[in-house]
Structure 1
């Protein structure tokens, strides 16, 4: 939880009001543009219809765009949007997301035409970006072509300093091209909740040409704002793994998509009461240099938000400075304003827009606190006595537009509220300075070559650097020295690159949730490949560009060490993403923001032109380089590979013997490999490892594992289903060994799953053979049947009747990963009862499948259709 600090505390339901605006040229001389929309009520309950910001494509018809000559309450008002349409009534349109040009003469906004009665979803109108020119009074759609305009839902536009437009859209242009590379049809991927298409950032020319996708989140990237330094600030829904810390946080990115970085909010979603999860939405500039954000939950029936000024330059969380010291990083405009259904004497705020005239004033959509008498249905103003009384309930809001002056403690009406209407998103049309222009990134040398092949670069200085602490055995320096640490004793051996699978909507592929298997938490996952971790824990690897990915650090068995990485990384073609090390998600230390991350604990090479201690002389380093940097400079940057392969390339054999090589290769499998034939020959940026239970894991159980002598006589048979079956050789019923049945056939609990999958991953009941049939084992619970008064219920003989209960059998595998599935895997390791029964390649396949979530299907187009 964090405190929400306030600048102004209201006690009477509104600030003092003043009509004296004659000496204020900013208010008098600059037009105001705003939206008016009707409140929507449920026809059955009469309650206000909730909006849901997790669905940015939601449509609320009846909105209109208005221009007011000035912020004076008595200035004239002009309906802009209605004049553009003659074929359909203006009342059917929706308008949102206003943004004024640098010269103050144009405004961008998103607008959607009315629903087409009887039309399918894909035939309905889409959200489009429009522009209004104040001087010519012309209203035009930025993308002129109907075909191109209809290709996606476009919202939240903003002008870039070079005249182009950044906006949020479901077009997913680059992501759809990647789908084709993966052999899938092009479709609009859904967000990670599966509720709506994912909106990500795009840029286009001011005439709608050259549309380019620049972010690749799996959920929404919204509300882009161009900061003074030219970077784009925006609200990102972090929802990887759908963990408890998920929420909408503030991020920044360059206009070409490079230098994507987290800014603020990941651990700041609790309100002061701790009872509500809020998100950081609609970032805006302020006179103070801080960022104004609107805090609110996704769903709201009163459309209110809690406006706060966030000091993103000095803070990474509400209670954590960039330097790691505690503090208070955000300040409420008004303490105790009502939102999320909580009424307050201070009223509630809708949209808030800074004037940016140096006065610290705002145009706000604001409603006073109102109550309805439960008996008479009369609406009255709030008093503390009425708030404490059960005779009143919250009444619907009446959002008018106000000029809000914190310093003076005043608010002046701009547009008086109207019952049943909502005035929203007012912005002042005034000139403002151009932000810094950031040119397109240029990448020299090998990075440029990698860009042409569809790669960027990931560089991790050391995976042993965890939140600024050296966690290597002895130290990173000792672990990097083969004379001090045998390579076989290094904990971290490989890095796995993992990719989320884009989820289609039901119109593209309609499949049941059973396709995800035991858990939907990780959705579906693919593997981009593997790369060895250098002795100092460093990695420098080419990774597919324009693809969201996560990393896993693996041990010598190819099993993940530590918790899952639950944040998506991306690189643009040729870009290098630099990381100091890894992060403990349970720590309070910030992660993901470069200037808030603890300094690297690994300085790298101490000299230039010499090798690292006791390593091959050919791998000489430059001062400060990691081993991965030195290796990449001399031998080219490593690329991912499909197999887990180790070769001791570093140890100087004149000092100590080199460690033995090993590999876990798909070519050693006797069952189907989870890669294509072409990718098994030559790995490329579009290659994927896709593991499906039915195709790749289940066949292992029935694979013949007979051991024959020199004469071909079977002397042993380790076939899994030879023992783990409910039928003996004669076909009679039997108890499977270890209560684990790995044979074919659909599960009685879930027909879309083979029963072996359920046996491995779901808890079960212990069974025994009785009368030739398998039944659950029942044991005396120690208690007896009792009546409502707690007295034992007696049988015919007058004896208490015992309660019997089943004996649980825990699952031997876990969706939490291979390390959490030791009950299964350890029996195949050295010293286990099944040592040697499964090959190293098979154990690697099972381990990586468990690590990515043990899904039943990892390709939605192979999952059975509903």
Structure 2
């Protein structure tokens, strides 16, 4: 109760499961204990919390995985709603009934040319896999998987290990990314999940003037769960359209400018924000106190951990949404016999008027017992399972178009693979294989412990298991049946079974996540980029589902001339440009240059797109620069000449050198005015596009030039990809 009475325990150490291979390599000692953390009330009176009850560990640093659980207010009906390999922490309800949480995105299965590899493959020397993948030596950072190089020269980057803010329903369904938290514009297109500035934890909803903001804790060294040091509180707004608007500094505590720019990581630090009913933020902030202890120990099961001490105490403050009026909140610690204690993670006790709850659409409660997980015992890695293939519960993954790209008003979402390049989608499952938790080689005559290490394979380092491979159709669609409540990821491959690489603003065709789906759930992922669970295709989803997308990025751009190397023709198909901001704070969320011709050449200049394969084209959108300002702030100068724009031009489509369509085009508008769209009477097959500028109005810094900001071409591959079944060669290294 609010007055402290009625205090009683709700969860207990009463889990009844079987640990597979319990007697081997510390499995029982590692997985028999668990923690329940971060409870929060839902609007219907149920409680959501994070727990390590489900026995698995993250790929990084041997840390226990945390998943979300829901129970009734009296502790009954306790069940797991997520199945993550790394973790979901800090759950908190949103006004619409969904749950906001921190997701530790940690997936160390790396893409190989025809398979995958993981930490188990680390070695002191370079290794060449049978599929031609080169794994680089990794003798000094074995807590990470090695990097490498695919045949053809594509570098395999470091594996993702970062923190995102996610949202899901109280039954675990509809998991998706909710708030993008980059600090700087230069990191907006960084979707690698490595050393980006997307790290975010401890989210708290805040309603201000009926608008939802999310306060959260950031940490400038991205260590997150290691320490409370180097923390600051930042503010974000939901959805991918607000990505650029969220590049704001910390409003309390340590910001990246001070830590990175000035090289000063000193406090004060701030964390644990929470929204108050009046729109202010309650949080904890540090101050120096040299009387505090500097060290200690903590026991978890059979493991002992050294604690980091400091001369800092955390006290309560509140502040406004913009960080102003930071005011201490006095708490009488001496009156309760704890005069030097930290005061952190405070929550207001107040009515949440108008907040709603969501009913469970998926009622099946997954078992925490690995013997009764949804993996069949005909997979050798899961022979301990008590379920046959016909006994497991399943879900469906559907991608209607792996080639779908985000619209031009989302310039920072990177591109999907080239149309027509994907033949197969592989689903890999990554549930714990219980091969062993630890083994320590003996030294100086002492034996290995707890048993001989010759056959030891650490369970959070082993490779994932191939579940299925399905064909991808000519429109880029595939559907796969997958084990429900089982972590997994997807790799896209060409007709020869190779990972796809090397496209414009792309990496390797691996969706390197660790997702799950509830029994009976149909998870629809469109495209193959960070838009998988981002909503980045919500505005053109119907078109993407029909197989159409912007194919311009896959063409080679050329031009009749350029002003200089700042205005190359490649700027017209990079899905970047002068993109209006989602809010009124700034006029543009992107200010990338377009193409500008040589000075003195405003008429007769052209730009071209040449595709390496035939495209079926439906429509074209030409986007001009801003009529005033824009590149180097020069369009519409001098003012007396008026705004700059292309007044007339000729658009031509060709196939094998023969013109198949020719369209006269009038004024070309800027993206802020929607651009200028040319819809063909019927889709045409073409491999070449040319736009010739015949007339312009205005000048650019007193110079007569032709200019264009972007070309969008809605199309798809003209010919289907061969679906001849290929053998799958899995990576194999003997240890």
Question: TM-score under structure 2 normalisation?
Answer: 0.49
By percentage of residues, which structure has more helix? 1
By percentage of residues, which structure has more strand? 2
Structure with larger Rg: 1
Question: TM-score under structure 1 normalisation?
Answer: 0.42
